[in-house]
Chain A
Amino acid sequence: MFGILRAYVLIALWQARPGLAGYDVTDAVTYCFVTQAFIGPMMLFGGGLPLPERIRSGDIALDLVRPASLQLWTLAEDLGRAAYLFLVRGIPPLLLGAVLFGVTAPTSPTRWAGVLAGLLIGVLISFGWRYLVALSVCWLADDRGVAVLSLVLTTFFSGMMLPLHLFPGLLGELVRALPWASMVQAPADLYLGKAPVGQTLALQAFWAATLFALGLLATRLVRHKVVIQGG
């Protein structure tokens, strides 16, 4: 539903300015529905992790005494959820877009491999970010404020609202280097074949590693800091 509205805005823009950012109208529509397919697996609107609720209720104490890394444990759960949502929330919008507007698809198997790799790293980056957001509850005791901040950053700077190529000048350069671009813009460009595969994957991997390391650090801090609530 929202994907369709977004597609019309992009179509109107590309009709006014054909060939903008190296996309043609079909590319723009494809971009719209491919990114729409990312919403579920990457939880672009936030949430998806049980942590904030568990911190608030005090159940986090149980998770911390378990003989498994909290981060890896949560990651495993999240990957399962992402795989499921990819099937039920990812494929249908793409098919809908194909029926209503017509979309392109990568032809060569190597490009598909690049897309899948990009998508997987995208999910890892999204997890890394949401994990940090979730742990912030330990310090703030309520997750709603940070959740809104995360929503704004993720939807706007990932390319979810508009392709990041449209952002003018220095702002454009900046947003394309930030981690959120690696979530949506990068895999979408890999899908469209508009980005060098090696370089894109390298930047994505860098962000995934950075966020994972920060997550590790935050987990360690939480172990010392956590306040167990409830009675």
Chain B
Amino acid sequence: MVRTYFLLAWTWTRAAAAYRASFILMLVFGLATGAMDVAAILVVFANTDALAGFTREEVLFLYGTASLAFTVCDTFVSNLDRISQHIKAGTLDTFLIRPVPAWIQIAADRFVPTRIGRVVQAVAVLAYAVAALGLDWRRAWMIPVMIVTGIVIFAALWTLAGALQFALTDAPEVANSFTYGTYQLNQYPLSIYARDLVRGITYALPLAFVNWQPGLYVLGRDDPFGTPGFMRFLGPAAALVLALAAAAAWRQGIRHYRSTGS
């Protein structure tokens, strides 16, 4: 299955490379879109030393972890949100009759390799933040764990959003506000948000586990909202529950798909 995925991805890469000038521009400016968020953080911290009690390096650390998880998913599974177009046009039928799982095919649909530039950028920011913070290595083991957790959570969100399109048919914005919204949310320390909002994204949808809860552990800080210490380690469990829910929803969606078109 992984092999099929990369075969499809390679096909789309060659298709995108046919427009050479655009391909190179995409690569360069893909980096620029990522740099824009970092620039925003730097501009904010040109005006203040601390935002809701967090320093510039701490915010860059939270940004870097969220960003790495997000950009990996953005590169490899984000094309799932194109499913709404396929449902509307009836072209999903072709995906379903091929001997490869539809999820794999749609995740690789119109794959653009240039997004990998953003992954590199996220790694660079994270590396800078980790170096600048001088983290305690007895706590830093959490960093890879939280990134994998983040990737699973984002992939599950994209799958959920895709599954939702079977019911909504033409509302990719809904999907975007799930995934991009979560990413935006996790770029800054959650302590800047209202208590009820943070409660919602901790207990109802486990978005706070992408980087906030484990991040607090790595940074050795207490939660400003006062959640107990064991919550810092619940990330993988929360991600697993969300992934199972997403898989179930996807299956339901495929099962209830009714083709359109003439």
Query: Which residues on A are within 8 Å of B, measured CB to CB?
Result: 1-2, 5, 8-9, 11-13, 15-17, 20, 140-146, 148-149, 151-152, 155-156, 161-162, 166-168
Contacts and interface: CB of A to CB of B under 8 A. Distances in A.
A156 B38 CA distance: 11
B29 A149 contact: yes
B51 A12 contact: yes
B177 A1 contact: yes
Interface string B98-133: 000000000000000000000000000000000000
A16 B50 contact: yes
Contacts of A140: 19, 21-22
Nearest to B33: A152
Interface string B21-65: 111111001101100100110011011111110000000000000
A20 B49 CA distance: 13
A142 B19 contact: yes
Contacts of B48: 13, 16-17
Interface size class on chain B is 20 to 34
A181 B175 CA distance: 30
A155 B184 CA distance: 15
B52 to A, nearest CB: 5
B194 interface: yes
Interface of chain B: mostly helix, strand, loop or mixed: helix
A20 B194 CA distance: 22
B69 to A, nearest CB: 18
Nearest to A155: B36
Contacts of A1: 177, 181
A168 B46 contact: yes
Given A16-B51, A145-B25, A152 B192 contact: no
A11 B51 CA distance: 10
B30 A161 contact: no
Contact of A148 (B29, B43, B180, B194): B29
Nearest to B45: A13
14 contacts: A8-B192, A8-B193, A9-B188, A12-B192, A13-B44, A13-B47, A17-B48, A141-B21, A144-B25, A145-B22, A145-B26, A148-B33, A149-B25, A167-B43
Contacts of A5: 181, 184-185, 193
B44 A151 contact: no
Ranked 7 nearest A-B pairs via Cβ: A145-B25, A145-B22, A12-B192, A142-B19, A142-B22, A148-B29, A16-B48
Given A12-B52, A16-B50, A167-B43, A144 B193 contact: no
B22 A2 contact: no
Nearest to A5: B184
Nearest to A21: B47
A166 B47 contact: yes
Given A1-B177, A148-B33, A162 B43 contact: yes
B178 to A, nearest CB: 10
Nearest to B35: A152
B44 A145 contact: no
Given A2-B177, A156-B39, A168-B47, 16 more contacts: A5-B184, A9-B51, A9-B192, A15-B52, A20-B47, A143-B22, A144-B22, A145-B29, A148-B30, A149-B25, A149-B29, A152-B33, A152-B36, A156-B40, A161-B40, A167-B46
Contact of B36 (A2, A143, A161, A167): A161
Contacts of A156: 36, 39-40
Nearest to B39: A156
A12 B188 CA distance: 10
B29 A152 contact: yes
Contacts of B43: 162, 166-168
Nearest to A9: B188
A5 B19 CA distance: 36
B39 A145 contact: no
B184 A148 contact: no
Contacts of A8: 188, 192-194
Contacts of B181: 1-2, 5
B210 to A, nearest CB: 14
A27 to B, nearest CB: 15
